[in-house]
Chain A
Amino acid sequence: MTETEFRLNGRVVRGQMADYATLAAYLRDNLGHFEVKAGCGEGVCGACTVLLDGEPLASCLLLARQAEGCTVETVAAAADGLRQALAEAFVRWEAAQCGYCTPGMLLTAYAYVKGGGSFDSPSIRRALAGNLCRCTGYQHIIDAIAEVVSTWPAEG
Chain B
Amino acid sequence: MAGRRIAGGPGVGGTTGQKFARKDVAAKVAGLVSYSGDTQGAGMLHARLVRSLYPHARITEIAIAAAQALPGVAAVLTARDVPCNVLAEDPSGTGGGVFTQPVLASTEVRYVGEPLAVVVAASPVLADAAAQLVKVTYEPLPAVFDPGLALADDAPPIHPGGNLCVQWHVNKGNVEEVLAQAPVVIQREYATQFVDHAYLEPEAGSAWLEADGVIVIRAATQVIEHYRRLAGMLNLPHSRVRLIAPYVGGGFGGKEDMTVEPYLALAAFHTRRPVRMVWSRQESLQARPKRHPMRFQYTVAASRDGKLEAVDINILADAGAYALLTPRVLFAAAVVASGPYRVLAARVVARAGYTHNVPSSAFRGFGAMQAAVAYEQIMDELAETLGMDPLELRRKNFLQRGDELATGERVETAVWLPETLNAVQAALGPEPQPSRPGLLVGRGYAMNMQPYGRTVWFGDQAAVWMGLENDGSFHLRAGVTDVGGGQAAVLGQIAAEVLGVLPEAVTVHFGDSALTPLTGGTFATRQLYMSGNAAVRAAESLRERIQRVAATLCGGDAKTVVIESQGVRTARGSARWHEVAAAARQAGVALEVLETFFAESGPGYDNRRGTAARTFPDFTYGCHGCDVEIDPETGQVQILQYVASHDVGRAINPLSVEGQIQGGVAQGIGYALTEEVLFHEGQCLNGTLAQYLIPAAADLPPIRALILESGEGKGPLNARGIGEPAISPVAPAVANAVARALGGARVRSLPITGEKVVDTLFER
Contact = CB atoms under 8 A, between A and B. Distances in A.
Most buried by A among B22, B124, B658: B658
Interface string B1-42: 000000000000000000001101111111111110111100
Nearest to B692: A44
Contacts of A103: 31
B25 A134 contact: no
A57 to B, nearest CB: 17
A98 interface: yes
Interface in B412-456: none
Nearest to B125: A20
A17 to B, nearest CB: 13
A141 interface: yes
Interface in B25-78: 25-35, 37-40
Please classify how large the interface on chain A is, using the bins under 10, 10 to 19, 20 to 34, 35 or more. 35 or more
Nearest to B276: A29
A142 to B, nearest CB: 7
B698 A126 contact: yes
B247 A99 contact: yes
Interface string A77-119: 0000000000100111111111111110010000000000000
A41 interface: yes
A65 interface: no
A39 interface: yes
Given A38-B202, A75-B31, A128-B698, A99 B25 contact: yes
B659 interface: yes
A129 to B, nearest CB: 5
A29 B485 CA distance: 28
Given A76-B31, A94-B21, A136-B659, A99 B689 contact: no
Interface in B642-686: 655-656, 658-659, 662-667
A76 B251 CA distance: 26
Given A90-B29, A132-B689, A138-B697, A37 B662 contact: no
Contacts of B201: 37, 39, 98, 100
Interface in A108-156: 121-122, 124-126, 128-142
A141 B40 CA distance: 31
Most buried by B among A94, A98, A122, A125: A98
Please classify how large the interface on chain B is, using the bins under 10, 10 to 19, 20 to 34, 35 or more. 35 or more
A92 B26 CA distance: 9
B694 interface: yes
Contacts of B32: 35
B205 interface: no
Q: Decide if the interface of chain B is mainly helix, strand, loop or mixed.
A: loop
A41 B125 contact: no
B697 A134 contact: no
A128 to B, nearest CB: 4
B703 A34 contact: no
A132 B31 contact: no
B702 A98 contact: no
B341 interface: no
B231 to A, nearest CB: 28
Contacts of A7: none
Contact of A37 (B35, B198, B248): B35
B250 interface: yes
Contacts of A70: none
A134 B252 contact: yes
Most buried by A among B34, B125, B659: B659
A137 B30 contact: no
Contact of A42 (B662, B690, B694): B690
A109 to B, nearest CB: 11
B281 interface: yes
A106 B690 CA distance: 22
A35 B664 CA distance: 26
Contacts of B198: 134
A45 interface: yes
A130 B613 CA distance: 50
Contact of B28 (A102, A128, A141): A102
Nearest to B284: A40
A121 B702 contact: yes
A140 B32 CA distance: 21
Given A29-B40, A91-B26, A41 B666 contact: no
Interface string B198-228: 1111100000000000000000000000000
A39 B690 contact: no
A47 interface: yes
Contacts of B252: 134
B698 A129 contact: yes
B280 interface: yes
Contacts of B124: 29
B697 A141 contact: yes
Given A38-B278, A100-B199, A134-B198, A140 B658 contact: yes
B254 to A, nearest CB: 10
Given A37-B200, A132-B200, A136-B663, A96 B28 contact: yes
Contact of A133 (B21, B200, B483): B200
A38 B29 contact: no
A103 to B, nearest CB: 4
A74 interface: yes
Contacts of B655: 93-94, 140
B484 interface: yes
A83 to B, nearest CB: 10
B200 A134 contact: yes
Nearest to A144: B29
Nearest to B198: A134
Contacts of A133: 200, 697
Contacts of A34: 34-35, 38-39
Most buried by A among B124, B125, B663: B663
A29 B41 CA distance: 9
A124 B493 CA distance: 32
B249 A100 contact: yes
Interface in B256-284: 278, 280-281
Contact of B696 (A102, A122, A132): A132
A90 B25 contact: yes
A131 B695 CA distance: 10
Contacts of B35: 34, 37, 100
B86 interface: no
A45 B697 CA distance: 12
Nearest to A36: B31
B667 A40 contact: no
Most buried by A among B202, B662, B697: B697
A29 B35 CA distance: 14
B37 A38 contact: yes
Given A94-B655, A97-B659, A134 B250 contact: yes
26 contacts: A28-B38, A29-B124, A34-B39, A37-B201, A38-B37, A39-B200, A42-B281, A44-B690, A91-B29, A92-B21, A96-B25, A99-B484, A106-B29, A125-B698, A125-B700, A129-B698, A132-B689, A134-B667, A135-B250, A135-B484, A135-B663, A136-B662, A138-B666, A140-B655, A140-B659, A141-B697
Given A39-B202, A98-B200, A131-B697, 8 more contacts: A28-B40, A39-B689, A92-B21, A95-B25, A98-B248, A99-B25, A135-B484, A137-B700
4 closest residue pairs by CB, A with B = A99-B28, A98-B484, A35-B31, A100-B249
Interface of A: 20, 28-29, 32, 34-35, 37-42, 44-45, 47, 74-76, 87, 90-103, 106, 121-122, 124-126, 128-142
